[in-house]
Structure 1
Amino acid sequence: MKKGKRRLIGFTLAAILLVLTACNNNGGKETQPSATSSETASQTGESKKPAQDGKYDPPITLTTVRTVESTVKFADGDSMENNVWTRAYEEEYGIKVKTLWAVDVSQWEQKLNLTIASGDIPDFFRVSATQFKQLAEAGMLADLTDAYNEHASDRVKSLLTEEGTGAIESATIDGKLMAIPFTNPSREGVPMVYIRADWLKALNLPEPKTMEDLLKISEAFATQDPDKNGKPDTYGLAIDKDFTLMNGFFNSFHAYPGILIKDGEGKLTSGLIQPEMKTALATLQKMFKGKQIDPEFGAKDITKVFETVANGKVGIMFYPYYGPLYPMQAGVDKDPTVDWKAFPIMSIDDKPAKSQTALGVLGYWVVKKEVKHPEAVVKMLNFWDKTFYENLSTEVHEKFNTSPDGGNQVWLLNNIAAYKAFKNSDASLQIIDALKTGDTSKLNPENKGVYERVQKFKEGDLTNWGWGRIFDDGGSMSVSNYYRDNDLYVNDEFTTSPLESMVQKGPVLTKLQMEAFTKIILGHSSPDEFDNFAKQWLELGGKEMLADANEWYLKKK
């Protein structure tokens, strides 16, 4: 991932940290180009054809809309419509990109919904799963089947299917590819469990091997004053009010909220309402009564919990591999004695613990039905793959990816992208090998930059602690590779855009879940209340949702 001065390999952390950035280059204001609709490829009467080298002559113009990225700094004279990426599209393929508007990410969804509602959509743009479904049902999207089959490079096809066929399937309607999935490394980003290693040492506790071991450590962290300040002010487990941090905990009990799994008959059912979830909630209630959980967790979102982590008040957290950079580095910056270590999630019994993984798709790149050359969008995706993944020379890296000082994320100016499933995993293996041998000749510029940060940490520079705890041998990426090597995943079996019943019933069921789970953990309800919750969940829309999902699943087979 890359993130300004905290540049990391991939996307997920950058997406999270962008939310925390205070401002952006354009202050969230829209940029309005001077292009007229008559210039666009979709409304040009003449069907322009690319020359033999794949370049359109004369050039074609495609319109789009997008977000303004706060971590991008335009070079002198550059703009959203005139930058290294847009110039490259034109030079390479004869494709001009006109940005109709660009807004801050906080305004994106509302602005895009208004654009879609108006019926006047750009030639290509990124949408959510729900928006994709709406546009497809309205007959507003181009069929990309031929464009993809004939023009996508083998590397791009491999990129979009690295985690399996689910991403492509989710963009396919009635056998036609109606969008390009914006793939994201879901398996690489599954939770692991982080433990305060310095607290283990302070209390003379061994590293855990089972979930029972972890629960004992949680109790010790809450009751034995691990920070040695003489106050009962530490907690075992980090929990937020929305249970964002809890999937890894639930997975340790073989419970899988938020995804559909197969039941004993091979049908789809919700992982949320299985008996294993009841056992996990009963355990959380016991932990809460034992003061292992912040009594105010029900009022704290994930940002507030991260403050607790940074302030050194909690010792166990389930989180993806990038946790050492955020939020844990902040704690190390405050107190250099702080140290966290990542472990694979642990099982409550003799069955292996597996992490749930959702469909690895951030959204969908769609093309308006009237566009005469939908393959142009596929060509731009080929270019993304060439510059971001294939050609990793220092020159290309600094031109299209990240500035030499790491402070300018030029790569975010791309107009279409897709992310590899295991980019960071692969990079970590190369970096670990280089750390052991001292041979950096096989590292590309990006990985070499990470290698140098890890080396600085190993030499005592704690400002790079997070990089060391991710990419050094035994770091969080080593845990991610352990999951990968042993296929320790439970996949979401639902791999298409949300069904109508899910869109309608989902918010009510989510609210029901939050209220029921919170009451059980706080002790306001018995764990047996979970049975009533599961019944209500089915009655208030879950049964309808599962019926629709199984109807889709049968057709898929």
Structure 2
Amino acid sequence: MRTKWSLKSKVLTKRLAVLSMSALMVAALAACGGSSNPPTAEEAGKYEVTPGDPFSAYKDQITVTMGRVTTANPKLPAGDTYENNAYTRLVKDTFNAQITDQFEANGEDYSRQVSLAIASGELPDMMRVDSKDELKELVDNDLIEDLTAIYDQYATDNIKQIYDSYDGRALDNATIDGRLMGLPATSLDSAPTMVWVRQDWLDLLGIQLDADGDGAISLDEVEKTALEFLKRDPGQSGNPVGIPFVNTMNTTDYNGSAYTMLGVASTEGAFPQYWMNGEDGKIVYGSTTEETKQMLGIMADWFKNGIIDPQFGTRTFDDITALYANGQSGIAFGPWHIPDWGLISAKQMDKNAKFSAYTLEDANGKVNVAHANPSNQFIVVRKGYEHPELAVKIVNLFYDKLANDKDVATTMPEAAKYQETGVDGSTRPFNIEVNSATSLLDDYSDVVRGIKGEIGLDEVRTTESKNNIGSIKTYLSDMDTDDVTAWSKYHSRINGVGLIDKLTKENKFVWMTPAFSGTTPSMKQTWANLTKLEQESFIKIITGSEPLDYFNTFVSNWKKQGGDQVIQEIEDEIASKQ
């Protein structure tokens, strides 16, 4: 983590010494004053060359301080930083706005910086918050700007259409008491979790999967393939292992489903960690259902028979990735894009490595999946910042203009080079994604038609898709190429997104819409312990240290230790909205 706050400053000393007093003062001020009216369009744009223009520059240079969400390996070229790079320079050139980072951090470090900023009331001008709870807290303490009028005035038609593609759900998540209090990131449906299998190993061993060619396979096929890989060691590692899983095991985010058992759960109609409507209309926590118990029984059998990695529960994420790189395992559960950053390690170590993508079907031949929460991250603007419209204009610049410019190599050459060389998207001013609900399959259509020559590059919607077309053509011209980027883009887009497109067109998915996402008051005190209870109980059952019926004990303990209270709060919140 890097911070630009001086540890010797009086400001930070005050934060650490009288944090609770600061929070009380903020709350008191909020109680007295409440939210002020948002600035008029004339006030918001008084420093602009053309007030109200989505891309208008400021007459005199302005400064905006930010809280930035970073990543460990942003792939920035030498000399560039999060604060000074092609993307921040693009903001400077376009709007005459200089970005200064108040703090930069990743993961839990970033969350701590945000919490400190909220508690002290000393926010950067703009930052990302990662939950509706944080957004509510900022609103309750009157710390952020109301963006309702500004969004209407400055957002481009394309940006409005993107948000509208979620049927109001995305903007609704950022709306409190009828006012838009943040600019939401979007999270489009990217289901299902896929089963990635070493195709070169299947060919070597004469194994045929998916005989009917529908893209979906059964658990039985996965089991038999895993056992063959263990017995015959096609990777010649000398130490083959079963399918690796992370010890967290479950997720409610298909984009984050790498090495989880979400796909296995789907075959039983189970959705661990999701909040669902039960048959009686009551709220049900997916990790406590009979279907989840059945899933754990399958996983326990797999572990007993060696189908699961014997070190399950102890390996880190990087350890698991290394198993694929070393040729010790050839079956991976994960999202459509796992070849770009995970399975690519296998190609780097073995030029012959190839993967095919499948998904798991239930006994009725259907693929059970859940809709994503359309937004749970928000860009907020500090109350009192003179240029709140700049937040909307930055969104316009990166998620409309840059994304859709068909001549970006000429108009924004530095940014185009970043995209071409794979610089991480976190280096943009806002580390979020703003894409339409159909963008994944829209981009896939462009890529396929571009590869076939049915459309020219000038007709392709995004720069990223143009680059992907070039990479995939490189791979198709030589499938033994050493170009790992070409290899990964072919696997993720043609195999991965191609499977989603196929299953969508064939109406193979059975969708579950979660009943609730977010947190409740008591979850702030109990959820960490409940999550730990769940994880430890599931590991015990899978590894055989407890019998399957121990699941009933887990459910009973979960309810007593706060689960029932959380369910009641969720039902009350849903009822209040009705």
TM range (shorter): 0.7 to 0.9
Q: Which of these residues, 395, 400, 405, is aligned with residue 391 of structure 1?
A: 405
Q: Which residue of 1 aligns with 2:372?
A: 358
- The CA distance in 2 between the partners of 1:82 and 1:315, in whole Å, is 41
Deviation at 1:68, TM superposition (A): 5.2
Deviation at 1:140, TM superposition (A): 1.8
- SS of the equivalent of 1:500 reads coil
Deviation at 1:406, TM superposition (A): 1.2
Q: Which of these residues, 499, 502, 521, is aligned with residue 479 of structure 1?
A: 499
Aligned in 2, Cα 1:100/1:338: closer, same or farther, shift over 3 Å? closer
Does residue 160 of structure 2 align to residue 143 of structure 1? no
Deviation at 1:285, TM superposition (A): 0.7
Mapping for residues 217-366 of structure 1, pairs under 5 Å:
217-221=224-228, 224-227=231-234, 229=236, 233-244=239-250, 245-347=260-362, 349-350=363-364, 352-361=366-375, 363-366=377-380
Q: Which residue of 1 aligns with 2:543?
A: 522
Structure 2 counterpart of 1:221, which letter? Answer: E
Deviation at 1:48, TM superposition (A): 6.1
- The CA distance in 1 between the partners of 2:44 and 2:52, in whole Å, is 17
Aligned in 2, Cα 1:397/1:264: closer, same or farther, shift over 3 Å? farther
Deviation at 1:53, TM superposition (A): 5.7
Aligned in 2, Cα 1:445/1:210: closer, same or farther, shift over 3 Å? closer
> Unpaired segments of 5 or more residues in structure 1?
1-26
Contact in 2 for aligned 1:31/1:102 (Cα 8 Å): no
Does residue 137 of structure 2 align to residue 134 of structure 1? yes
Deviation at 1:267, TM superposition (A): 3.5
Contact in 2 for aligned 1:190/1:357 (Cα 8 Å): no
- The CA distance in 2 between the partners of 1:74 and 1:82, in whole Å, is 11
- The CA distance in 2 between the partners of 1:221 and 1:259, in whole Å, is 34
Deviation at 1:67, TM superposition (A): 4.1
**How much identity, in percent, do the aligned residues show?**
23
Structure 2 counterpart of 1:354, which letter? Answer: N
Contact in 2 for aligned 1:384/1:417 (Cα 8 Å): no
- The CA distance in 1 between the partners of 2:372 and 2:424, in whole Å, is 27
- SS of the equivalent of 1:298 reads coil
Q: Which of these residues, 403, 421, 425, is aligned with residue 406 of structure 1?
A: 421
Contact in 2 for aligned 1:387/1:400 (Cα 8 Å): no
Cα deviation code 1:165-223 (max 9, x no counterpart) = 332222222222221112234x2264211122233334433314542433442453355
Aligned in 2, Cα 1:312/1:355: closer, same or farther, shift over 3 Å? farther
Cα deviation code 1:56-115 (max 9, x no counterpart) = 556654432224565364798x87666655565466556554433445667433333322
Does residue 490 of structure 2 align to residue 468 of structure 1? yes
- The CA distance in 2 between the partners of 1:325 and 1:47, in whole Å, is 42
Cα deviation code 1:456-500 (max 9, x no counterpart) = 22213043322222233xx111112235443554333324x4222
Contact in 1 for aligned 2:86/2:418 (Cα 8 Å): no
- SS of the equivalent of 1:434 reads helix
Q: Which residue of 2 aligns with 1:7?
A: none
Aligned in 2, Cα 1:408/1:396: closer, same or farther, shift over 3 Å? farther
Q: Which of these residues, 197, 203, 209, is aligned with residue 199 of structure 2?
A: 197
Mapping for residues 92-111 of structure 1, pairs under 5 Å:
92-93=94-95, 95-103=97-105, 107-111=109-113
- SS of the equivalent of 2:65 reads strand
- SS of the equivalent of 1:414 reads coil
Deviation at 1:511, TM superposition (A): 0.5
Deviation at 1:536, TM superposition (A): 1.6
Structure 2 counterpart of 1:375, which letter? Answer: E
Q: Which of these residues, 511, 525, 538, is aligned with residue 504 of structure 1?
A: 525
Q: Which residue of 1 aligns with 2:451?
A: 435
> How large is the Cα RMSD of the aligned pairs?
3.3
Structure 1 counterpart of 2:513, which letter? Answer: N
Contact in 2 for aligned 1:141/1:366 (Cα 8 Å): yes
Contact in 2 for aligned 1:250/1:277 (Cα 8 Å): yes
Aligned in 2, Cα 1:407/1:251: closer, same or farther, shift over 3 Å? closer
Structure 1 counterpart of 2:203, which letter? Answer: K
Structure 1 counterpart of 2:247, which letter? Answer: K
> Unpaired segments of 5 or more residues in structure 2?
12-37, 211-215, 251-259
- The CA distance in 1 between the partners of 2:498 and 2:106, in whole Å, is 35
Deviation at 1:287, TM superposition (A): 0.9
Cα deviation code 1:338-367 (max 9, x no counterpart) = 3221012322x1162222343143521112
Contact in 1 for aligned 2:217/2:358 (Cα 8 Å): no
Q: Which residue of 2 aligns with 1:456?
A: 474
- The CA distance in 1 between the partners of 2:261 and 2:547, in whole Å, is 20
Cα deviation code 1:97-154 (max 9, x no counterpart) = 4433445667433333322222211222111214323322323222222222333222
TM-score of the aligned structures, taking structure 2 as reference length: 0.79
Contact in 2 for aligned 1:432/1:471 (Cα 8 Å): no
- The CA distance in 2 between the partners of 1:526 and 1:238, in whole Å, is 21
Structure 2 counterpart of 1:207, which letter? Answer: L
Cα deviation code 1:256-292 (max 9, x no counterpart) = 1122122113343211111111111101111111111
- The CA distance in 2 between the partners of 1:71 and 1:140, in whole Å, is 31
Q: Which of these residues, 378, 387, 390, is aligned with residue 392 of structure 2?
A: 378
Contact in 2 for aligned 1:483/1:489 (Cα 8 Å): no
- The CA distance in 2 between the partners of 1:373 and 1:503, in whole Å, is 34
Aligned in 2, Cα 1:414/1:294: closer, same or farther, shift over 3 Å? same
- The CA distance in 2 between the partners of 1:85 and 1:286, in whole Å, is 50
- Comparing 145-154 and 291-300, the one that deviates more: 145-154
Deviation at 1:520, TM superposition (A): 0.6
- The CA distance in 2 between the partners of 1:144 and 1:90, in whole Å, is 22
Structure 2 counterpart of 1:255, which letter? Answer: A
Q: Which residue of 1 aligns with 2:179?
A: 176
Aligned in 2, Cα 1:226/1:162: closer, same or farther, shift over 3 Å? farther
TM-score of the aligned structures, taking structure 1 as reference length: 0.82
Cα deviation code 1:293-313 (max 9, x no counterpart) = 111111112221111122222
Does residue 176 of structure 2 align to residue 158 of structure 1? no
Q: Which residue of 1 aligns with 2:33?
A: none
Structure 1 counterpart of 2:395, which letter? Answer: L
Mapping for residues 7-86 of structure 1, pairs under 5 Å:
28=2, 30=4, 49=46, 50=48, 51-52=50-51, 54=53, 55=56, 61-67=63-69, 71=74, 73=76, 85-86=87-88
Structure 1 counterpart of 2:143, which letter? Answer: M
Contact in 2 for aligned 1:194/1:343 (Cα 8 Å): yes
Does residue 575 of structure 2 align to residue 554 of structure 1? yes
